[in-house]
Amino acid sequence: MSDKSGMQNDNRTRWLTLAGTILTQLALGSVYTWSLFNGQLSEKLGEPISRVALTFGILSLCLALASSVAGKLQERFGVRTVTIAAGLLMAAGFFLTAHSDNVIMLYISAGVLVGLADGAGYLLTLTNCVKWFPERKGLISACSIGAYGLGSLLFKFVCGHLLATEGLQNTFMIWGGVAMVMVIAGAMMMKDAPKQQTADVTREENSLNDNSNDSRDFTLAEAVRAPQYWMLALMFLTACMSGLYVIGVAKDIGQSLVKLDALTAANAVTVIAIANLSGRLVLGVLSDKMQRIRVISIAQIVSLAGMSMMLFTHMNETMFFISVACVAFSFGGTITVYPSLVSDFFGLNNMTKNYGLLYLGFGIGSIFASLVASLFGGFAVTFSIITALLIVSLVLSATIRLPNKSEAGHNTLQHV
């Protein structure tokens, strides 16, 4: 009787954790509306848009840095405490952003503080939730990261309305307050997932990937010694470089390359949000039905099609929206599938740490694309580099094999 009661409590706990994770991710995903603010911040600070837009690159880098240490934070403080702290830090960052009067303060408040808060909450809550549902890793990733994408769509309308009615300063303060309440409310519903049994993880992986029965539970130190880890890292960096760059400057691409008016070009934010969310849901669910590395290959092909349109065609309005949708769809799908993909390669128990280090590619990719664009003063060189990296990544995803832990020191490869 007590065992049955315990199972019911665990089941209730994990569904409450999922609900809290979704609520938290909705608030954290709001940072993807950043391009809405570049114009007004540029006017307020008297800085060119390119310098203001760098804020999002800094935010992405700090998001990745915070995500990379999320596992250690969870071990020491627990998922609930860290998530509450993230909500408070996010509110503080937006409050300081509202009162920023120079670009350096903007970089610190919106870039560093909001980025660190978002990263600490994002990866920690996602991986904790996935651990509660080892039998549905792809679906739960899709729900959690889909909520993150939906947050950008939801807050696009919220922030757009606030900008029109409340002004820039009040918008940041209200945004920070709403996000804080949502994150803290979500955190109160969460509980740390129990440690997974390696045997159970292995059986689940076998059913998807037809592995042999060797244990797949790599520590971070073991994972980084496998060449597959760095192959996955390069593929992830490339996906983030293409996705984050296009998301951050989509409106500017529409105005500069396609000669759209500002209002029409701003619709790219909505198109990106819908495509991003669709990629998370479609590819996330698909990843439970076929090999996840093949889902990544599909995402790479879609992104390559979008980047090729931007690079090799004379775009009209329709092609512009299709191309940014392709890149956003691929990016959303990739970051949804990757946590589970990393657990397929290196095990579920250390997923937060193993994925956390790899997640640095999120910030590095964003910053690298922004630096290339600013150094060479245009889109063409950046598009070319991204396209070349996508081709390399596609080759890697087609040839990568699962690592064999027992012989990792000898770089023995195992067929997926």
Cα distances (angstroms) measured from residue 53 to each of 11, 46, 82, 116, 354: 44, 13, 29, 18, 30
Amino acid at 93: G
Q: Has residue 100 been placed in a domain?
A: yes
Q: What is the pLDDT of residue 377?
A: 66
Give the confidence band of 405 by pLDDT, cuts at 50, 70, 90: low
Nearest to 400 by CA among 148, 203, 229, 168: 229
Q: Has residue 201 been placed in a domain?
A: no
Q: What is the pLDDT of residue 335?
A: 87
Q: Are residues 246 and 138 in the same domain?
A: no
Q: Total domain count for the chain? A: 2
Name the percent of the chain lying above pLDDT 70.
Answer: 89
Q: Are residues 189 and 229 in the same domain?
A: no
Q: Has residue 5 been placed in a domain?
A: no
Give the residue from 145, 176, 193 where a domain finishes: 193
Nearest to 73 by CA among 82, 62, 61: 82
Q: Which residues of 210-248 are buried (b: 16+ CB within 10 A; e: fewer)?
A: ebeeeebbbebebbeebebbebbbebbbbbbbbbbbbbb
Task: Enter the pTM of the model.
Answer: 0.75
Give the residue from 193, 210, 244 where a domain finishes: 193
| 87-95 mean pLDDT | 96
Statement: residue 392 has pLDDT above 90: yes
DSSP annotation of 378 reads S
Q: Has residue 314 been placed in a domain?
A: yes
Q: Would you call 78 exposed, middle or buried from its count of C-beta atoms within 10 A (0-12, 13-18, 19+)?
A: middle
Q: What is the pLDDT of residues 337-385, one digit of tens each?
A: 998 899 889 988 888 788 888 888 877 887 788 778 777 767 888 889 9
Q: What is the pLDDT of residue 260?
A: 81
Q: Has residue 199 been placed in a domain?
A: no
Q: Could you tell me which residue, 305 or 34, shows the higher pLDDT?
A: 305
| 156-162 mean pLDDT | 88
Cα distances (angstroms) measured from residue 201 to each of 137, 206, 222, 291, 395: 11, 9, 18, 15, 28
Give the confidence band of 201 by pLDDT, cuts at 50, 70, 90: very low
| 188-212 mean pLDDT | 58
Question: In whole angstroms, what is the distance from residue 23 CA to residue 33 CA?
Answer: 17
Q: What is the pLDDT of residue 204?
A: 39
Q: What is the pLDDT of residue 54?
A: 81
Q: Are residues 178 and 265 in the same domain?
A: no
Q: Are residues 177 and 35 in the same domain?
A: yes
| 225-249 mean pLDDT | 90
Give the residue from 193, 209, 238 where a domain finishes: 193
Q: Are residues 114 and 257 in the same domain?
A: no
Question: In whole angstroms, what is the distance from residue 391 CA to residue 30 CA?
Answer: 31
Q: Are residues 133 and 248 in the same domain?
A: no
Give the confidence band of 5 by pLDDT, cuts at 50, 70, 90: low
Tokens of 43: 């006017």
Q: What is the pLDDT of residue 349?
A: 80
Q: What is the pLDDT of residue 244?
A: 83
Q: What is the pLDDT of residue 413?
A: 45
Q: Please give the residue range of the domain that contains residue 161.
A: 11-193
Q: Has residue 291 been placed in a domain?
A: yes
Which of 40-54, 253-267, 272-286, 298-312 reaches the highest mean pLDDT? 298-312
Statement: residue 412 has pLDDT above 60: no
CATH code for the domain in which residue 35 is found: 1.20.1250.20
Q: Are residues 265 and 171 in the same domain?
A: no
Q: Are residues 244 and 151 in the same domain?
A: no
Statement: residue 50 has pLDDT above 90: no
| 253-267 mean pLDDT | 79
Give the confidence band of 98 by pLDDT, cuts at 50, 70, 90: very high
Q: Could you tell me which residue, 54 or 225, shows the higher pLDDT?
A: 225
Q: Could you tell me which residue, 154 or 84, shows the higher pLDDT?
A: 84
Q: Are residues 171 and 235 in the same domain?
A: no
Q: Are residues 166 and 231 in the same domain?
A: no
Q: What is the pLDDT of residue 61?
A: 84
Q: Are residues 235 and 185 in the same domain?
A: no
Q: Are residues 230 and 322 in the same domain?
A: yes
Statement: residue 19 has pLDDT above 90: yes
Q: Has residue 282 been placed in a domain?
A: yes
Q: Has residue 410 been placed in a domain?
A: no
